[in-house]
Amino acid sequence: MPSLKYFFINIVGTLLRGFPLPAKTGLRKIGNPDRSSPVFLTCNYAVSVERVKKALEGMDCYLLVANSNGINVWCASTGGHLSNHSAVSVLKTSGIEQLVDHRRVIFPQLAAAGIEAGVVRKKTGWHVIWGPVHAKDIPRFTQILEDGHRKDANMRMVKFPLLHRLEMAVMWAFPFSLILALLTYIFWRQMLILTVAASWIVPLFVFITFPLYSGLLTGKKGKNHGFYGNYGSYGSYPGPSKEPHVGRPLSGKLGISKYTVLFNIGWVSLILWLVFMLGVLPYSLAAGTLSLSLLLRWGFVSLSMMLLVNIDLMGSTPVYKSGLHEERLLKVMLDRERCTGCGICVDVCPRNCFSIEGRKAVITGSERCVQCSACIVQCPEDALYFASPLGKVLMPDTIRMYKLNMMGSRLKKGA
Amino acid sequence: MYVLMRILESSPERYDMGISVVTLGRIKPAYDRIASHIKCGMKVLDIGCGTGLLSIRMAERGALVRGIDINPAMLEIAKKRLKQSDMPEELKENVEFSEMGVAELSSVSEGSYDAATSTLCFSELSQDEIRFTLRELRRIIKPGGLLLIADETVPKNLVKRFVYALIRLPLVIVTYLITGTTTKSLREPALQIEEAGFAVESINMNGMESFTEIIARNPGSH
Ligand SMILES: C[S@@+](CC[C@H](N)C(=O)[O-])C[C@H]1O[C@@H](n2cnc3c(N)ncnc32)[C@H](O)[C@@H]1O
Ligand code: SF4
Ligand code: SF4
């Protein structure tokens, strides 16, 4: 039976997906573990902890909650919050070493962009096993492990099903509607219900219909991703390089700055907005209600709607490609000479981009890559690296050192 | 007041300018008092050294300092500061900054330091980490050696605690919104240090009881 806490945390977590929600770090006992029971690790995002606990129900094991500043595993590991230090710390200080005789710990696969299995091994003696992407697969995963098999492709893959898309929609709609509700309540009470309704309908519509049009966009504009919120990595996107862009500049974009990931106000929407406002003028004249305050209020409401529509909602998801920022595309490259075919990249890639053929890795699905860097971070031979469209190369050392952040300092530092 | 530290840490470049403003100038004199216990030739471990202000101050007094921190960006600034400081080159060689968390203290050999210092760092550790660190420090610090701590603390006095919480709340919110993290203050650090087996020699608090400096000694025999 999931506890009341499970439901509570899930509801709060869903409404406030974009915000950290820290849980206590340290050791949790599940069932009646003994000295050979399995050890799992997760981050200290309260929603993750509850979900993992629920998945572990009925098992006898230990759960280690590592410090990720209250952010979910994927965002925290790509954003530098869930790092080698978080893992080393909980392994050494939680007392787990006194409780079990073995030294095998199962990490969530999505932690692979932030925690280096090799470093954890060297510093603590613990051997890292990359578990499934989703907590609910843990029971099946432990069975597979016992049988001596490897995780199947399904367990390794991050998808973006309707339920997750709805969660993302709520993540945008809830805070946005609150702010808008407050503002309209102050300035224009009659519009309250309308604006709140609109701020829920727009994201819901955008997210539900993604699969219908995402193919069209990506075909044309290249493979790009802005990440944001508790699904992707924290507003993370490798920033543009300092050099002027080679080739055709992005056409007709009036971005706020070239760093802006979230807003992309194109001329089209500006013109539409102006047309709308020009329409309000004769309409209110005819209706005899024209006043400056009416214009201002209509202006505000329609402007906030335009902003909402123009947030790069799709680019804020982990797997759909943003229509913007073509220039920031990074591509995973393989140095075949170095590769030993160990298969670690296959094991950690959340988009199943790799396969092993003839004892070498082959990049078979680069169009699915979301540039999470997990494969590069984990490759024991440094056989993988990023290349930018401008011909810059980001080597594994740089990628391990500079985690992503809003301003994309990685590409800058690496350059 | 120190909640804002998290904001500063998230952009280490601004850290130093901010830290003295945020601590209302309280941290600089605290560094001085701590450094005054450090003598020429002593081996000192500075835990959570950040941008190295205290480490360098102790090195200027002729100490051999190792500063450890988990934040590489802060360490980069510490190294730069050391390079640019006007202390003699041979003293600079006595300072070493390394990326290392408290969890790795078990790799430091027994009795290898005369003193350990830590400013504004314990409040960022989890209870598990604090317990672990103190236990390791008992081993690492030579018998008779010093543990010097300065940190933000929760006032004991109920009225002061209430006022303190009130002042802190908006800062906590601002910090949370900007960095998505919060800091806690230490609760009864002296008690914990004593429980770990150190002999606490002096506890020095500000009027609000929100900032505490502790001098403790490792009695040696376990
Ligand atoms: C507020 S700063 C204080 C820095 C410096 N001591 C000062 O007084 O300015 C706290 C420092 O503790 C470091 N820290 C946090 N957790 C740590 C850990 N587990 N091990 C080592 N250092 C840690 C942080 O990276 C940060 O640089
Ligand atoms: S992890 Fe590296 S060495 Fe191993 S198969 Fe992949 S590319 Fe080759
Ligand atoms: S191939 Fe792309 S998606 Fe897969 S692990 Fe590497 S960077 Fe991530």
What is the reported pLDDT for A277?
Answer: 78
What is the reported pLDDT for B156?
Answer: 84
Specify the range with the lowest mean pLDDT, choosing from A200-214, A378-392, B50-64, B81-95.
A200-214
Q: How far is A200 from chain B (nearest CA, A)?
A: 23
Bridging pattern class, strands B199-205 and A104-107: unpaired
Average confidence (pLDDT) over A266-295: 74
Q: Strand, helix or coil at A10?
A: helix
Summarize pLDDT for A220-255 with one digit per residue, the tens: 333 333 333 333 322 233 333 222 222 222 222 333
For residue A68, how far is its CA from the centre of ligand 3 (angstroms)? 21
pLDDT of A412 above 70: no
- Residue B186 φ then ψ, to 5°: -75, 140
Higher pLDDT, A88 or A291: A88
Residue to probe by mutation, ligand 3, list A109, A160, A224, A332, most atoms within 8 Å of CB? A332
What is the reported pLDDT for B119?
Answer: 94
Task: Using alpha carbons only, give the angle A167, A170, A174 rounded to the nearest 5 degrees.
Answer: 155
pLDDT of A259 above 50: no
CB contact under 8 A, A85 and B70: yes
For residue A356, how far is its CA from the centre of ligand 2 (angstroms)? 9
Structure tokens at B101: 């968390």
- Residue A55 φ then ψ, to 5°: -65, -30
pLDDT of A371 above 70: yes
pLDDT of A264 above 60: no
* Domain boundary assignment for chain A: 4-156, 162-216+265-309, 324-412
Q: Chain B contacts of A94, Cβ < 8 Å?
A: 128
| DSSP symbol at A228 | -
Contacts of A363 (CB under 8 A, 6+ apart): A332, A334, A353, A354
Summarize pLDDT for A76-128 with one digit per residue, the tens: 888 888 999 999 999 999 999 999 999 999 999 999 999 999 999 999 999 99
What is the reported pLDDT for A246?
Answer: 28
Q: Strand, helix or coil at A25?
A: coil
- Which atom from ligand 3 is nearest to the alpha carbon of A354? 1
- Residue B16: pLDDT band with limits 50, 70, 90: low
Give how far Cα A195 sits from Cα of A185, A188, A200, A280, Å. 10, 10, 9, 17
B13/B15 Cα distance (integer angstroms): 6
Residue with tokens 């490798």: A238
Query: Which residue does chain B place closest to A91, by CA atoms?
Result: B103
- Residue A404: pLDDT band with limits 50, 70, 90: low
Q: Chain A contacts of B132, Cβ < 8 Å?
A: 92-93
Q: Which residues is A357 bridged to in the sheet?
A: A360
Task: Using alpha carbons only, give the angle A64, A69, A70 rounded to the nearest 5 degrees.
Answer: 75
What is the reported pLDDT for A223?
Answer: 34
What is the reported pLDDT for A409?
Answer: 44
CB contact under 8 A, A92 and B180: no
pLDDT of B69 above 80: yes
What is the reported pLDDT for B160?
Answer: 85
A224/A246 Cα distance (integer angstroms): 17
Specify the range with the lowest mean pLDDT, choosing from A146-155, B20-29, B152-161.
B20-29
**A375: nearest Cα among A69, A91, A80, A130:** A130
What is the reported pLDDT for A303?
Answer: 78
Average confidence (pLDDT) over A355-372: 89
CB contact under 8 A, B182 and A123: no
- Residue B1: pLDDT band with limits 50, 70, 90: very low
Mean confidence (pLDDT) of chain A: 78
What is the reported pLDDT for B21?
Answer: 58
A142/A59 Cα distance (integer angstroms): 10
**A360: nearest Cα among A379, A337, A377, A376:** A337
Average confidence (pLDDT) over A115-142: 95
What is the reported pLDDT for A27?
Answer: 97
What is the reported pLDDT for A267?
Answer: 63
In chain A, pLDDT over 70 holds for what percent of residues? 76
pLDDT of B186 above 90: no
Structure tokens at B205: 């608090």
Contacts of A410 (CB under 8 A, 6+ apart): A238, A239, A394, A398, A399, A402, A403, A404
Average confidence (pLDDT) over A69-80: 87
Stated pTM of the model: 0.79
Summarize pLDDT for B112-166 with one digit per residue, the tens: 999 999 998 998 899 999 999 999 999 999 999 999 999 988 888 888 888 888 8
What is the reported pLDDT for A230?
Answer: 34
What architecture is the A4-156 domain classified under in CATH?
A: 3-Layer(aba) Sandwich (3.40)
Summarize pLDDT for A317-356 with one digit per residue, the tens: 555 555 455 545 788 999 999 999 999 999 999 999 999 9
Write the residue with the smallest CA distance to atom 1 of ligand 1. B120
- Residue A65 φ then ψ, to 5°: -105, 110
Q: Strand, helix or coil at A247?
A: coil
Query: Chain A within 8 Å of B132 (Cβ-Cβ)?
Result: yes
- Which atom from ligand 1 is nearest to the alpha carbon of A89? 19
CB contact under 8 A, B132 and A25: no
pLDDT of A397 above 60: yes
Write the residue with the smallest CA distance to atom 6 of ligand 3. A375
Specify the range with the lowest mean pLDDT, choosing from A140-154, A245-259, A263-277.
A245-259
**What CATH number has the domain spanning A324-412?**
3.30.70.20
What is the reported pLDDT for A273?
Answer: 76
pLDDT of B171 above 70: yes
| A4-156 and A324-412 share one fold | no
CB B70 near ligand 1, within 6 Å: yes
What is the reported pLDDT for A221?
Answer: 36
Higher pLDDT, A377 or A6: A377
Give how far Cα B88 sits from Cα of A58, A340, B135, Å. 64, 49, 36
What is the reported pLDDT for A260?
Answer: 38
Q: How far is A88 from chain B (nearest CA, A)?
A: 7
Higher pLDDT, B92 or A402: B92
CB B101 near ligand 1, within 6 Å: yes
- Residue A315: pLDDT band with limits 50, 70, 90: low
Higher pLDDT, A295 or A86: A86
- Which atom from ligand 1 is nearest to the alpha carbon of B71? 25
B129/B122 Cα distance (integer angstroms): 9
Higher pLDDT, B177 or A29: A29
What count of Cα atoms within 13 Å lies in the side-chain half-sphere of residue A59? 23
CB contact under 8 A, A88 and B129: no
Max mean pLDDT among A42-46, A169-173, A175-179, A230-234 falls in A42-46
Interface-testing mutation among A65, A86, A92, A116, with chain B (most B C-beta atoms within 10 A): A92
Ligand 3, residues at Cβ distance < 6 Å: A 332, 348-351, 353, 369-375
Residue to probe by mutation, ligand 2, list A338, A344, A347, most atoms within 8 Å of CB? A344
A407/A411 Cα distance (integer angstroms): 9
B222/B136 Cα distance (integer angstroms): 12
What is the reported pLDDT for A312?
Answer: 61
A70 → closest Cβ in B101, B103, B180: B180
Interface-testing mutation among A43, A64, A93, A178, with chain B (most B C-beta atoms within 10 A): A93
pLDDT of B20 above 70: no
Structure tokens at A415: 């350059």
* CA A138 to mean position of chain CA atoms: 21
What is the reported pLDDT for A281?
Answer: 78
pLDDT of A206 above 80: no
Higher pLDDT, A279 or B214: B214
